[in-house]
Amino acid sequence: MREKIETLFTEIERLTANSLEEVEAIRIKYLSKKGIIATLMDEFRHVPADRKREVGMKMNALKQAATERLQQLKEQFAQNGTAQAGNDLSRTAYPVALGTRHPLSIVREEICDIFKRLGFTIAEGPEVEDDWHVFSSLNFADDHPARDMQDTFYLENGQLLKTHTSAAQNTIMRKYGPPKPGHALKALFPGRCFRNENIDASHENTFFQLEGMMIGENISISNLIYFMKVLLTEVFEREVKVRLRPGFFPFVEPGFELDINCVICGGEGCPTCKHSGWLELLPCGMIHPNVLSMGGIDPEKYTGFAFGLGLTRLAMMKYNIRDIRLFNSGNLKQLKQFTR
Ligand SMILES: [Zn+2]
């Protein structure tokens, strides 16, 4: 009988279960009224009197061990939904719930990677800025409507939340200075921007942009178009047609609106592109000479282009997201579906 008990101790220690049903089956097998331990208790009657004490203690210990082991198995299911193989130390103690990257982070990192390969420096500017960086250094006239309190969040100390990533242009020009002969200053600066918008399916007061800038001795519009085509082809994983329309922004001369061939209908016309076959994607242009001067770069010698990519809008197009509010919603169930 002593041997039987010892064997059962080992057996119980090694018990595993793959489901709660199996835990229950184990309970029935060992601890129910007709289970192994109860049967053993019956046999206890036949133990010689002088050994009853010793065997009795072992029996109790066995019952205790079985109860505890059962509880352990049960708890593993309660916490994690799966049981552990008793002695398999190579298995994780519990299933790790992995997080996923936010769709905006995925697109931002993807674009940063593309531009890093093209030799761009990734920079970032502060979110709280002053009027000089957000407007004046970008050639905005004092009475320009973009300065309006209705669009811009001003802080009590006179600073403001940046309304566009272009706010970092001046800082970057001053930090790196004019490029060496045969080189170009190439920088990409993603960032969060704020505008006092009424929120609906296509407007947010907090959104992401990604600004790119290239300055050198012979930079032209064709350089701009080349980089845009590389970018869009990689992001959408296919050839994307682009077109430029004139656009006016104080910090570029000439300025353009860059449209892409509608990625949803392929140019045939659909509600998203308002049946035009084109989607407006980003403003861009050749950096205004005044902006170069204010950045300490000689506009007689250097030219450059800049573009302000609406990262939030690009992510909406890439993933066919219809409602911009999803991005800041914290709705994990929805946000977790984007993996690449
Ligand atoms: Zn379309």
> Measured in angstroms, how far is the CA atom of residue 254 from the centroid of ligand 1?
28
Whether residues 213 and 170 fall in one domain: yes
Instruction: Name residues whose C-beta falls within 8 Å of residue 89's C-beta, 6 or more positions apart in sequence.
Output: none
pLDDT tier at 2 (50, 70, 90 boundaries)? confident
Whether residues 121 and 237 fall in one domain: yes
**CATH code of 308's domain:** 3.30.930.10
> Measured in angstroms, how far is the CA atom of residue 245 from the centroid of ligand 1?
18
Q: How far apart are CA 33 and CA 16, in angstroms?
A: 22
pLDDT (0 to 100) of residue 83 = 47
Does residue 330 carry a pLDDT above 50? yes
- For the stretch 212-235, pLDDT in tens is 999 999 999 999 989 988 888 888
Query: Which amino acid makes up residue 172?
Result: I
Range 34-63 average pLDDT: 86
> Measured in angstroms, how far is the CA atom of residue 151 from the centroid of ligand 1?
30
Instruction: Name residues whose C-beta falls within 8 Å of residue 223's C-beta, 6 or more positions apart in sequence.
Output: 214, 305
> Measured in angstroms, how far is the CA atom of residue 241 from the centroid of ligand 1?
13
State the total domains in the chain: 2
Whether residues 157 and 286 fall in one domain: yes
> Measured in angstroms, how far is the CA atom of residue 274 from the centroid of ligand 1?
7
The dihedrals phi and psi of 260, each to the nearest 5 degrees, come to -115, 150
> Measured in angstroms, how far is the CA atom of residue 316 from the centroid of ligand 1?
14
pLDDT (0 to 100) of residue 340 = 65
Say if CB 301 and CB 198 are below 8 A apart. no
Does residue 271 carry a pLDDT above 70? yes
Whether residues 259 and 152 fall in one domain: yes
Q: How far apart are CA 290 and CA 238, in angstroms?
A: 37
Does residue 85 carry a pLDDT above 50? no
Whether residues 111 and 54 fall in one domain: no
> Measured in angstroms, how far is the CA atom of residue 222 from the centroid of ligand 1?
26
In a domain, 327, yes or no: yes
Q: How far apart are CA 75 and CA 215, in angstroms?
A: 63
> Measured in angstroms, how far is the CA atom of residue 232 from the centroid of ligand 1?
16
The residue range of the domain holding 235 is 103-335
Instruction: Name residues whose C-beta falls within 8 Å of residue 110's C-beta, 6 or more positions apart in sequence.
Output: 234, 235
Whether residues 74 and 142 fall in one domain: no
> Measured in angstroms, how far is the CA atom of residue 273 from the centroid of ligand 1?
4
For ion ligand 1, residues whose CB falls within 5 Å: 262, 264-265, 270, 273
pLDDT (0 to 100) of residue 313 = 83
pLDDT (0 to 100) of residue 217 = 95
> Measured in angstroms, how far is the CA atom of residue 279 from the centroid of ligand 1?
8
pLDDT (0 to 100) of residue 223 = 92
pTM above 0.75, yes or no: no
- For the stretch 186-207, pLDDT in tens is 999 999 999 998 888 878 899 9
> Measured in angstroms, how far is the CA atom of residue 223 from the centroid of ligand 1?
27
pLDDT (0 to 100) of residue 88 = 64
pLDDT (0 to 100) of residue 90 = 67
Whether residues 54 and 124 fall in one domain: no
> Measured in angstroms, how far is the CA atom of residue 61 from the centroid of ligand 1?
74
Range 111-119 average pLDDT: 92
pLDDT tier at 143 (50, 70, 90 boundaries)? confident
Range 176-195 average pLDDT: 94
Whether residues 154 and 301 fall in one domain: yes
- For the stretch 233-246, pLDDT in tens is 888 888 888 889 99
Which run of H or E residues covers position 235? helix 221-236
